[in-house]
Homo-oligomer: A and B are copies of this chain.
Amino acid sequence: MADASLNALIEALRRLPGVGVKSASRMAFHLLQHDREGAQHLAQALQQATTRVRHCSLCNTFTEQEVCPTCLDPQRDATKLCVVETPADQAAVERTAAYRGRYFVLMGKLSPLDGIGPRDIGLAKLFERALDGVVQEVILATNFTAEGEATAHVIGETLKQRGLKVTRLARGVPAGSELEYVDLGTIAHALVDRR
């Protein structure tokens, strides 16, 4: 496989997250042998997305407009702001149909070990958004990982000082699970947060 454009394609595919050299070769082989139309299609989709997709000026998620459809929806409760790490997390909260407020998407999380600080995830934009005078409650829905917890802590402390109500998603036993198989940390949290 000594050909320049084939090698270039494999190298380009390797930049995708979770794709090593074997997967990249298999992908390139599949596209060239069985799905050249799909390859052309992907090339166009990449071009289009990279030129058109930008960040919503209100909630920071990906959108092609100045303001995303969720932020434009007048039915949503503007007094509540749910902070999530990624659009995928936002989609997960949306699927519950248990929340009808607004969102702010961090597009990342604080991660000092990787050199990602408050500026890299645009916390200034969040603070501006949360302190617009309409928002009354900020719901921290960052992940329950070390980085997610740290991010929630930093945001929560800052916003509490400014007089906002700050809440965090409840920690506890997952729905449908048996206590015997739930890890100790989760049970301990569920005990502390009992109601």
Contacts and interface: CB of A to CB of B under 8 A. Distances in A.
Contacts of A30: 16-17
A8 interface: yes
- Which residue, of A31, A43, A91, has the highest number of chain B Cβ atoms within 10 A? A43
Interface string A1-38: 11111101101110111100001011111111101101
Interface of A: 1-6, 8-9, 11-13, 15-18, 23, 25-33, 35-36, 38-50, 52-53, 61-64, 68-70, 86-88, 90-91, 107-108
B62 A32 contact: yes
B63 A25 contact: no
29 contacts: A1-B61, A1-B88, A1-B91, A2-B68, A3-B63, A3-B68, A5-B45, A5-B49, A5-B53, A5-B64, A8-B48, A9-B46, A9-B49, A12-B38, A12-B46, A13-B42, A15-B38, A16-B31, A17-B27, A25-B88, A26-B88, A29-B88, A31-B50, A32-B49, A32-B53, A39-B46, A40-B50, A43-B44, A46-B46
A53 B16 contact: no
Nearest to A8: B45
Nearest to A38: B15
A26 B28 CA distance: 19
Contact of A42 (B32, B46, B62, B108): B46
Given A32-B50, A33-B107, A64 B13 contact: no
A27 B6 CA distance: 21
Contacts of A49: 5-6, 8-9, 28, 31-32, 39
Contacts of A52: 5
B47 A40 contact: yes
A1 B68 CA distance: 9
Q: What are the 5 A-B residue pairs with the smallest beta carbon separation, nearest first?
A: A12-B45, A43-B46, A12-B42, A15-B38, A9-B49
